[in-house]
């Protein structure tokens, strides 16, 4: 267990946009594999930037370690980081997760269509039947053929969860995925997410400004506490 590298390991990481002021300065952030971590990040705390770095879209200005799933991201080319993200990560936005011009099923199977390695992890099962299975577990079996634009916000977020989870990603990043849901649906959505992450063996990094959600997670971190950039 302790042999596995942590899902996320950031050390002495600094980031600033071009010539702007420093946005992030993180001395240490380690998320062990398999954990469900709640990261409290109010707006303006550098949350979007941090997630961009972990997802490999942004590179830190300087760092000792920017490791995700044991891979040093700064050693990869931009194209390789895109491929790494597509292959190993699931990403959930706050809203508007779905491409309006694809069907529910096509939205869910898009990650494995884009990345052959992710398709290979389905173990030979057709992507469509895997997607149907996921949708069924997320209570969306009846909406497989519904146009994406006719789904409710909660349904859209669950479709997005199915898409993020297809092909068993090792790390699921969720950026305020429940902020558009009411309290009841929020709890159920988090339950579903936990269940699916456990089933997939995925590490979950859940970011929200709503501290009340944090109780059910294995670990709670606070970005303002981690980020030394604001402190002078």
Partner 1 sequence: MLTLRLALRSLSNRKLTTVLTVASIALSVSLLLGVEMVRRGVRESFAGTIRGTDLIVGARGGAQQLLLSSVFGIGAPAGTVSWATYQRYAQHPAVGWTIPLSLGDSYFGYRVIGTTDAFFEHYRYRNDGRVELATGRLAEDDHDVVLGAEVARMRRLKVGSEIALTHGLQGSGIMDHDEHPFEVVGVLAQTATPVDRSLFVTLDGIDEMHAGFVGAAPVPDSTLSAFLIGVTNRQHAMRLRFEIDADLTSEPLTAVIPAVALTDLWHSIGFAEDGARIISFAVLLVGLLGMLVALYSTLQERRREMAILRSLGAGPRRVATLLVLESGVLAAVGALGGVAMVYTLLAIGRGLVERHFGIYVPLVAPGLVEYAYLGGVVVAGLLVGMVPAWRAYRNALQDGLTIRL
Query: In terms of CB distance, is 175 or 196 closer to partner 1?
Result: 175
Query: In terms of CB distance, is 80 or 141 closer to partner 1?
Result: 80
Size of interface with partner 1, in residues (CB under 8 A)? 34
DSSP state of 109: H
Instruction: Kindly state the smallest distance separating residue 194's Cβ from partner 1, in Å.
Output: 21
Instruction: Kindly state the smallest distance separating residue 173's Cβ from partner 1, in Å.
Output: 9
| 200, 168 Cβ separation under 8 angstroms | yes
DSSP 4-73: SPPSEEEEEEEEESTTS-EEEEEEEEEE-TT-EEEEE--TTSSHHHHHHHHTTSS--SB-SEEEETTEEG
Cα separation, 159 vs 104, in Å, equals: 7
Phi, psi of 68 (to 5 degrees): -125, 125
Cα separation, 4 vs 123, in Å, equals: 23
Query: In terms of CB distance, is 108 or 226 closer to partner 1?
Result: 108
Name which of 8, 22, 94, 95 is nearest 55 in CA terms: 8
Name which of 173, 177, 232 is nearest 210 in CA terms: 177
Site for partner 1 in 5-24 (CB under 8 A): none
Instruction: Kindly state the smallest distance separating residue 160's Cβ from partner 1, in Å.
Output: 9
Name which of 57, 45, 82, 55 is nearest 172 in CA terms: 55
Q: Does 48 bind partner 1 (CB under 8 A)?
A: yes
Site for partner 1 in 75-134 (CB under 8 A): 78-79, 82-87, 89, 91, 93-102, 106, 110-111, 113-115
Query: In terms of CB distance, is 58 or 197 closer to partner 1?
Result: 58
Query: In terms of CB distance, is 32 or 52 closer to partner 1?
Result: 52
Query: In terms of CB distance, is 57 or 228 closer to partner 1?
Result: 57
Instruction: Kindly state the smallest distance separating residue 184's Cβ from partner 1, in Å.
Output: 25
C-alpha triplet 66, 96, 226: angle, nearest 5°: 30
Instruction: Kindly state the smallest distance separating residue 47's Cβ from partner 1, in Å.
Output: 11
Site for partner 1 in 172-191 (CB under 8 A): 175
Query: In terms of CB distance, is 209 or 220 closer to partner 1?
Result: 209
Instruction: Kindly state the smallest distance separating residue 202's Cβ from partner 1, in Å.
Output: 16
Q: Is the dihedral of CA 120, 160, 170, 89 positive or negative?
A: positive
Tokens describing residue 4: 């596995």
Binding site for partner 1 (CB under 8 A): 48, 51-52, 55, 57-58, 78-79, 82-87, 89, 91, 93-102, 106, 110-111, 113-115, 163, 175
């Amino acid at each position: 267990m302790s042999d596995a590298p942590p899902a996320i390991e950031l050390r002495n990481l600094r980031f600033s946009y071009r010539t702007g002021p420093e946005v992030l300065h993180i001395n240490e952030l380690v998320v062990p594999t398999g954990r469900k971590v709640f990261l409290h990040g109010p707006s303006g705390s550098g949350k979007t930037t941090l997630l961009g770095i972990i997802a490999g879209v942004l590179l830190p200005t300087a760092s000792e370690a920017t490791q995700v799933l044991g891979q040093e991201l700064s050693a990869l080319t931009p194209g390789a980081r895109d491929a790494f993200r597509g292959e190993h990560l699931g990403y959930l936005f706050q809203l508007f997760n779905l491409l309006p011009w694809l069907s529910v099923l096509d939205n869910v199977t898009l990650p494995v269509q884009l990345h052959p390695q992710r398709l290979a992890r389905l173990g030979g099962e057709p992507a469509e039947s895997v997607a149907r299975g996921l949708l069924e577990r997320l209570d969306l079996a009846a909406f497989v053929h519904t146009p994406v634009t006719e789904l409710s916000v909660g349904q859209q977020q669950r479709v997005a969860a199915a898409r993020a989870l297809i092909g068993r990603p090792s790390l699921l990043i969720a950026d305020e995925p429940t902020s558009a849901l009411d309290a009841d649906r929020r709890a159920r959505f988090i339950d579903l997410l936990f269940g699916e992450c456990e089933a997939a063996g995925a590490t979950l990094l859940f970011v929200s400004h709503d501290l009340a959600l944090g109780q059910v997670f294995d670990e709670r971190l606070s970005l303002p506490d981690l980020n030394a950039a604001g402190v002078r």
